[in-house]
Structures are given as C-alpha cells and as structure tokens.
Structure 1
Amino acid sequence: MIESLQMTREVQVGNFTIGGNKRFALIAGPCAIESEEMSIEVAKKIKEICDKLGINYIFKSSFDKANRSSIHSFRGVGMEEGLRILKKVKEEVGVPVITDVHEPWQCEKVAEIVDMLQIPAFLCRQTDLIIAAGKTGLPVNVKKGQFLAPWDMKNVVTKMQEIGNEKVLLCERGNIFGYNNFVVDMRGLLEMRKFGVPVVFDATHSVQIPGGLSSCSGGERKYVFPLMKAALSIGVDAIFAEVHPDPDTAPCDGPNMLYLDDLEKVLTTAVKLDDIAKGL
C-alpha cells in the first residue's frame, strides 16, 4: 500500500508559515557570523534568489558555535555583537532570522531579536534548554541528535507541548555511523512527520565529517545537493543549508558549506522536485 505524504501543521515565522504541504522554506546563511558586511551581503543575495523562485527565506548564522572540535576553533563574534548584526540583517534585508542557543539563560535575550530559535543537535535532550526556548513563545527548530532515532524526537515535541508551545520544527542532520561519519536514513524524515510537526532537512551538516581534520570537522560538499534532492523527493517542509561566498576560506564548517554562487542553480532544481513531491 502506498501512503500519501503526512500533512504537517503550519508554523508562523515572521510574515509566512512553514508546513501544511506548502513549498519548502529555506533556512540559510554562513555557519558563524563573521562580520556585519558579509552577513548582509549573503542575506541580500539569498533573498534575491528566493524571491525570484517563490521560496520563503530565513537568514541563519550563529553568534557562537559552542560545539567545536578544538578549544582553538573559531566560535563567532559573541552574543552581544551577533545579536546586533542579526537585528541589522532583519531590518535592512527584511527577512526573519534564526540563530543557535546553547544555554537556557540565552533564550530570553536572543528571543528579543530573532524570529526563531535553534537547538543544536548535541543539545536536543537538554530539557532545561528546550523549556527555556519554548517559553519564549517563538518557533523552535530542534536538530535531531546524531545519536537518536527519529521516533525518539517525539519526546522533544512533548516537552514543547507541555509548556504550551506547539511551534516546534524537527531537523534531520544524519546519524553518526562508526567513527567520523554521518549517514542519513531518509526514512527518518517520514517518521518525524508522523508527529504532525514541520520537518527540516539539514543538507550541509549531513555531509559533515566530525573531527575529520583532526582539530576541526571536515565535510563532503559534493554530496550536499544529491542528499537535498533525495529529501525533497520524499517531502520536507524546509531545507537548512549553510552558504558562504567562499567556503574554502570560512573559519568553520567550510568543507560542507555551499558556494553562494551555486545556490540559484541548486534551488531551481529543488523547487521542481518539491512541486512534484507535494503535487503543487
């Protein structure tokens, strides 16, 4: 028996909604905030592409990348400066913004600026963090832990619901398979859709090689687009992708980030696949 795609609830982000069998939204930007100038440049270019293709867009970049391989790894510009830059992007480019939070005390402060909070995969079982994020009333994108089965994310949804926040999205980013290796089980996208919440596919972290460069993570950029196409063919509500003007010089996650100049071609195909999968 062939089952139809599970419908997900719609979650309001800024002036649009994600889910409900609508065209996928794009969550994209550099891994970490490097500067105001670069953040605005990337956000403007991606918004221009998304407007052309009819894709709702959320700018993503992190003020702190706390889960680093080495103590010497680049982490970002810090919360105060990062939030200032995210606010500038939001006002000047006119797009919603999202960033990571790592500790409960950060949530309320960050929620004053952003439109959506993101919980890193390593922290998806941290109850106090989930509750603090949910209590802001904002949508929360929770990345599935590399160590969890997709059905285990039901507990995350329940935690959010228990505090009265139904605006949760679940993000697939692959499972650790042996040493320094991620594998994406596409069945997990369908399993998490059963909870009725929007499901996001993280196309760039799914090709990461954690610790693969000894003191930092490696990645296989060549697999980003094939995995993205597979996820869209199955059916997702949003695509997460880290994008950079020159990934090879990026201070973090360069090997798995997409080139900004390649994004329009990638998204043009993505829209066609999404339309077929959802019958749009």
Structure 2
Amino acid sequence: MILEYGDLYLIELPLELKGYRKFIGSWVIKDLNVIVDVGPASTVKTLKRALDSLGVKVEYVLLTHIHLDHAGGIGHFLRLYPKAKVVVHERGVKHLINPEKLWEASRKVLGEVALAYGRPLPIPEESIAKPPEGIEVIETPGHASHHQSYLFGDYLFTGDSAGVYLDADGEVYLRPATPPRFIKELYVESLEKMISLGSRKICFAHFGMLEDPKILERHREQVELWVDVVRRNMGKDIDLIIKELLEEDKLLKPYEKLEEDIKFREMQGIVNSIKGIMRYLGEGNEDR
C-alpha cells in the first residue's frame, strides 16, 4: 500500500507476523529521489516494487537509526540501488558495514520477530554520505543513542523519537517507543529540540503523518506520565501498570479502537516500552 500526503508518499512494508501491518513504512520525497528508512530485509522487494510504480530512482537513503525494522534492509537495498548514498549517525556506521553484532543482539532481544525482519547484509563504506541539500539532520537520541531525525521544509521525519502513532478510527493513538536502553533525559531533550523547531507536519515511521501543532508537547507529557506510573508500581504485576496507563493516558485510550490483530501487536509494544522504563528506573527483569 502506498499512502499519498501531498508531495510525499509513505510505502507500507507489512510483515508476515500477526498484526504487523500499518506498522513500518518508508517515506518517499519524490522530487529529491530521497527515502527515509528502508525497513527490514524481508520487505525490500516490496519497497522496490512500490518505488518502481512511483518512478523513483533513489539517490539518498536517510536512516533514522539502525534497528532492524528501520534499516535492516539497507544492505539488500544497495544491491538493487548500488549508486544510492546512505545518511546515518556516525555511531551506526560500523554496524552497517559489519552487521553481525547487530544481528546477534537483535535475535537475542526480538526472537521470532528478528527472524521475520530478516538478516541484514553489510554495506560498502563508500556508500556513507552527508545529507543532500535541503535536508537538515536533527540528533534525537533517547530511543537509541544513534537516532537522528530529518527536517525537510515543513516535514519532520521522526523515526521512533516521537513515539508510535496510528489513526484509531479518527482518534490519535500514540505510545512511547522506550525499549531498552531507554534514557528518559535524552528522549525528553530530543522532544524539546523538535518542539523548538515550531509547528511541523510529523512523519512517523510507525505509522503515518499527523498535523497537530501540540502533539510533541503532548507526547512529552505522556512520557513523563508513563515514567511516573511505572515508578510508583515497580515490583507489581505489569498487567496492573498497563491497566493504569490505559485509564490515565488519553493518547493511549484509543488502543481499544484498534483492529484486533493490531491491538495484539501494539500490546507487545506497550509491554516492551514499559520494560524499557523499568530498566531506566533500575529494574526491569520482570517477565510478562
């Protein structure tokens, strides 16, 4: 599926896992022959077919970070587009050139989801480049130390730095993306940096565009709420934490309006984000 937003496109990259649709996408700036994130290795062929249908000859790939759902397919992609240049945080470069440690760590943490993403392939060092003219890089760590967002005109491509968004039957569903190793101070600093840019159209990797001038402020408040709820419930059953968040967090409440398979997937994300906050607060070994 290709979603059109004026002069931008979002290519959906579904996976063969329950609920993994409307999950990850690759943003296309057609006039610049630029895409933001390539998705996992297993969906590169889907991405290529969509780009061909749009008539896009990719010259630059802007990677928000190197997690497998955003960048796992970059090695496969460059075999199809060998002249394309890759923009990535300097901390991520070595893991793209030699992705073995990234792959093993991902398999350990993600299990069957990592297998569904597919094994990454190495990229040539000479493919690494600075962003093209018209693209501004915004360093946004917190979700990951190597996370960066991109500003293009009125569009802000946030990767995972502004949470996971879905349109829930006309309502905004948003949750933090705070898996280990989450650092709240950096996450909030990154949000404040993006807020300082003024009102922008937020292009979420997960999943879609949102034109709400206050959404980043609301997300900052949401992260503070989650940390507070987890802190006062440390040591309790994680189901109690989820119940309290669903009651107190207005941005999370539309979860109930999501389709059943997507609710299944999002609950996994909610649990992982809570565990990331637990680890930040000094614990986090509880299993659901």
TM interval, short-chain normalised = 0.3 to 0.5
Q: TM-score, normalised by structure 2?
A: 0.34
- By relative contact order (CA 8 Å, sep 6+), the higher-ranking structure is 1
The structure having more radius of gyration, on CA atoms, is 2
